[in-house]
Each structure stands twice: as structure tokens, then as C-alpha cells.
Chain A
């Protein structure tokens, strides 16, 4: 428990937000640990953005509290070096150039202006550094938003739907970057999405929200609603079985050349076989897939919470 407490960078505790009679976020509690990527999932309108805005001090909670490194956002000694946030790719003055946009906020954060050029390089916008943002595509704006969030080299990164507007290459690049920030640099990353598959490959844990309420907090593997069962047909069942068991999967005894695997997603099963050099003749999911279970969990959540 004590190790969990020290590892937790973001602690959300009983966070609640009412908009008039509408309860947008309802007694939400979860944590985000150092060195991990946490997916913040839920359908549109579930209260993800409102929650992030409360954590970031932009919106006042009706009750409850969100803290980062033990402090409320407004009390942080050095916010820019503690938290970086990407909210929506729209926070730019159209006529200001990308470089000047970063210079403005480098100055506010007390960071040397050379950081602006470094960041433009990092997010791949060096070529358009001196162009006004009004000509930028959504993907370029997302990259500039991310660069803005990274100005202070923060320990905690909070991203709201960063996949919006990114092309597949951009998405792959973002996944790699976030994974590196968590693994290589020990940062805590909280990334929201309404599409499970966008973040499935990079998250360590997920917080699933529907109608403002916490539905699930844990690993994807333990997502309730039946574990994903994979049927694998291979001419080398023993080798496959050993490789999969080494990854913690439960593998049933082979019937002819078929194995039934639980505890690993289908992508991981395929990957393990490929790495072990095992020939695969068939690979399919029986029972509920991750996506199906996610949808089932959050179903019936399009309607707003009833007034209290």
C-alpha cells in the first residue's frame, strides 16, 4: 500500500461535477502511477474531459479533489514542470506562428526559448516553425499541442483524445512516444480515448467511465465480461504451449493440433508464436473480445445521468 501511495502521481478522490441538474462526473476515484500509461476510456459524453479539466484546475469540482504529486493543481509550486496537458487541438491564435506560440508559453514557464526549437524538432514541425497556425492541419495542431504540453519537461502527462486528427503514422509515433515517456523516463501518463483500440496496445491500466461513474479500474486483461479466449491451431502445440505459458497464459491440453488459450489477447498470442518460431494454421477468438467487453461495459451510457 505504501509503495502504491508513493508511486501514484495523479490521485482522483471522490471527484464530482454538476452542471445545473446534470451530474457530469459522479464520485470518481482512481490513481495514475509513475512509469505507467493509464487509458481513460469511455464513450463521448462520459465525463472524461470534465474530469481532466478538474484535475488541471480549469474547472472547479462540485466536490471531491484531484491531486498531482500530492498537491491540488492550483497549489503546485511549478505547474509547467510537473504536469503537461493536451486538451484539444484548438488553443492557438490563428495568426501566430508555431514557434512564437511556443515562445510565448516558454516565457510564461520560465523556460529558455531554445526549448521551442527543440520541441518543434521533437514533434516534427521544424519545417513549419515560422508558419502561422491557421494553415495547420488537425494532426499538426495536435503535434503543436503536445509540444506545448512538453515545454516544462513534466513528470505527468495528461492527454485528452490525442488520437483525434492523427493519421496512422502519427498515431504510431504518438504511441511510441508515450510508451517511451512512461518506460524510459518514468513519467505518469494519462491518456483519454473513446476508442479502446486506439490505446489498447500502450496502456498498462485502464480507467473506464460511463455516465460520469467509474465502471472499471485495472488491467485490460482482467476486464470483466468473460476473459478473451483464443483458439490456436498449430503443428507444434508443445512449443506453442511452452511459449504461451511463459507469458502467463493458461493453455488447455491440446486436442489434435488445437490449443485453447486464455489470459492473453489474440495479438499477444500471435506475437508469442511468431517470436517462438511456431507455425500457425489458425488463430481466432472465441467468447467476448476486448472491444466487445468494453462496449458491453459502457453500453446504455449515451444518456446523461438522471437529475438528482
Chain B
């Protein structure tokens, strides 16, 4: 397993993909913080001296939740990490050297999680670097610990790691790279929203990957189809999606021929 982990890690760092997607994830996190602070609603009528909205702990937490705003890039990273094997037929040497296919997928899941977490840490650093000085100039004191911001940043990094794991799972199930990426994006941005608006499906909305990830970070608007999930519940459900996809897809890969 050590050999496979090292091999998968080398696969990641010997191409530029991880770097480009990390840059995109970090940029999205920065934009999310900037737009939240810049567009924050005033707490009082114009012209009056009012307290800054970001003195509220909940608003501070919602700012740092931006640490997982670039989750879709971790997801795409995971998808490409898996599907590129089939697209460029590196699946051949990969599965010739390790014919036990489950182990290869397991190694990919671990390396994807590590890289996703790295995306999360990089995003967290940028989030802090933007909000700390900006709120400082407004005279807002930030309760890193007392307001649970560090914990939220950590959960955002975990969410990023799971996004990448889910991506690998999608790639195991759908070997075609383009189909996997488009399918995942359509699910995240269209199908999940349909669950929220179609009454018959509303009850399931909380259990979908996107809302579960939101519950983990604490950024989902609560109450659609039932009470909000706790971060732990959300995290477990989100991870469950990733592992179920990898396992279900893995059972297919076991049977299907390697291109």
C-alpha cells in the first residue's frame, strides 16, 4: 500500500493539474470572503452610526466557511485524478503493476483526500489573510477561538478533502472524463436544487452531497426538508457519498475490462 500511495502521489505532483485547480479553489475562496464583506448589509438606516455586521459571531463563521467555497475544484481534481487513467490509458501500466484494482482505488482515495485537505488549508490561509486585516481596519475584533472560527476553518478543510474523495468515487463509476465532470457539475448545480423545490423530493434534500457538505461547514440554509444536520452528521453523509460511489463503481471496475 505504501508503494501505491507513493506512486499515486507522484502521479499528482508530476503534472500541473493539482496546481491549477488549487489556484482556482483559493481564488474562489478569496472572492467569497471579499464579496461577503464588501456587500454586507448595514444593520441600521443609512447615515447613522451603526455597529458593523461582522461583530456577530454567526457572520464571522459564515465568512470563514468560504474556506470550502472552492469545493467544486477539489471535486473536479478527484474526478480527473481517476478518469485520466482511462483517458490516457495509464490504466494499463497501473493495473499491470497492481492487478488488485481495489487497492489502486483505495490509494487514490487517500491521496485525493490529502490533496483536497491541502486545497482546504491553502483556502483557509487566504480567507484569514483577507478577513483579518480588513475587519481589523473596521475595528471588529475577531473571535478565532471564542466564535468557533478555527473549528469552522478546520471543518472546511475536511469538506475539501471529502470533495476530492467524492470526485474519485465519481470517476470510478463514470470512466469517461468529460461525462464524469459534466455529470457531477449538473448534479451539484441543477439536480440538487430540483430536490429543494420539488415537494416530493424535499425530504431527501438534506442528505444530498452538496447540502451535507454545507452542514459540515455550517453554511447550508437550515430547514429544507427537516431540521438542519449537525456538522458531524453532514460530514459523515458527505463522506458516505464518496465511499459509496467508489465502492459501487469499484465493483463495476472489478468486472469490466480495463481499456
Residues of A within 8 A of B (CB): 53, 56-60, 73-74, 76, 79-80, 83, 85, 87-88, 90-97, 100-101, 103-105, 107-110, 148, 151-152
Contacts and interface: CB of A to CB of B under 8 A. Distances in A.
B95 A57 contact: yes
A73 B99 contact: yes
Contacts of A148: 93
A134 to B, nearest CB: 11
B16 to A, nearest CB: 7
A58 B10 contact: no
Given A58-B95, A93-B90, A108-B98, A100 B10 contact: yes
Contacts of B100: 74
Size band of the B side of the interface?
A: 20 to 34
A76 B100 CA distance: 10
B7 A93 contact: no
Interface of B: 3-4, 6-7, 10-11, 14-16, 84, 88-100, 255, 257-258
B15 A95 contact: yes
A13 B92 CA distance: 23
Contacts of A105: 7, 93-94, 97
Nearest to B255: A60
A87 B99 CA distance: 15
A90 B14 contact: no
B99 A79 contact: yes
A151 B10 CA distance: 16
Nearest to A100: B14
B96 A79 contact: yes
Contact of A109 (B11, B88, B97, B255): B97
Contacts of A79: 96-99
Given A100-B10, A104-B10, A58 B92 contact: yes
Nearest to B254: A60
Contacts of B4: 108
Contact of A60 (B89, B92, B257): B257
A74 B99 contact: yes
B37 to A, nearest CB: 38
Contact of A108 (B91, B97, B257): B97
A60 B252 CA distance: 13
Given A80-B97, A90-B89, A91-B92, A103 B257 contact: no
Contacts of B10: 100, 103-104, 107
Interface centre among A74, A108, A109, A110 (most CB of B within 10 A): A108
Nearest to A111: B3
Contacts of B255: 60
A23 B117 CA distance: 48
A93 B3 contact: no
10 contacts: A53-B257, A57-B96, A59-B257, A76-B99, A83-B96, A87-B92, A95-B16, A103-B14, A105-B93, A152-B97
A113 to B, nearest CB: 9
Given A91-B88, A100-B14, A104-B11, A110 B99 contact: no
A60 B97 CA distance: 17
Contacts of A97: 14
